[in-house]
Amino acid sequence: MNRHLSRMIAMQTLYEWKFRPDSDLNEIKERNVAEYSDKCEKEFVDTLVDGAADYYEKLEQIVDDAAPEWPIDQVSLIDRIILDLSIYELLHLSDVPPKVSINEAVELAKQFGSDNSSKFVNGVLGTVYKKFESEISKIRPEHHSQVNELTDQLIN
């Protein structure tokens, strides 16, 4: 299965949901997944979309703290969604190496963002990674049981 495509579906789902906030997130997600069901990892899409939606305000605060010269309302919606998905992935998904998560976010920003989006996304994620590096390393497979406890400490 294709995790890059799964990230794109998660991004597309959240983007549509932000434009139509009265819509049902699960309906949007299911429709988008159905279109690529044979090529994407549905569980991975579910995890990313549901996690980024559930922790939306906390993830936005992390972005705001990492890029104080760019108030969150001045960051494009697509860049915010890419950052939210990647930060959620960094802080919650122990099976994804941090470099992979960051590289995937930069690639999405190149594909869907503006000319400077990839540099901005890379810079913000680099700052977030450095800030939480020791905590992120604790949630990797050898410390899997600490994921939920650590995440609550980081973003509360």
What confidence tens digit (pLDDT) does each residue in 76-123 have?
999 999 999 999 999 998 888 899 999 999 999 999 999 999 999 999
Q: What is the pLDDT of residue 71?
A: 76
User: Is residue 39 domain-shared with residue 72, that is, in the same domain?
Assistant: no
Q: In this structure, what is the dihedral angle of CA atoms 95, 149, 153, 130, given to the nearest 10 degrees?
A: -20
Residue 8 lies in a domain: yes
Distance of CA 107 to the CA centre of its chain: 13
- The answer to whether 114 and 73 are in contact (CB under 8 A) is no
Helix (H) or strand (E) holding 49: helix 42-54
Rounded CA gap, 156 and 154, in Å? 6
82 and 139 in a common domain: yes
Whether 34 and 59 share a structural domain? no
CATH code: domain of residue 91: 1.10.940.10
* Alpha carbon distance 36, 144 (integer Å): 30
pLDDT tens per residue, range 130-156: 998 877 877 665 544 444 455 455 544
Instruction: Note the pTM of the prediction, 2 decimals.
Output: 0.85
Domain-embedded: residue 50: no
Residue 131 domain-assigned (yes or no)? yes
Domain with 2, as residue range(s), is 1-45
Specify whether 103 is located in the same domain as 138. yes
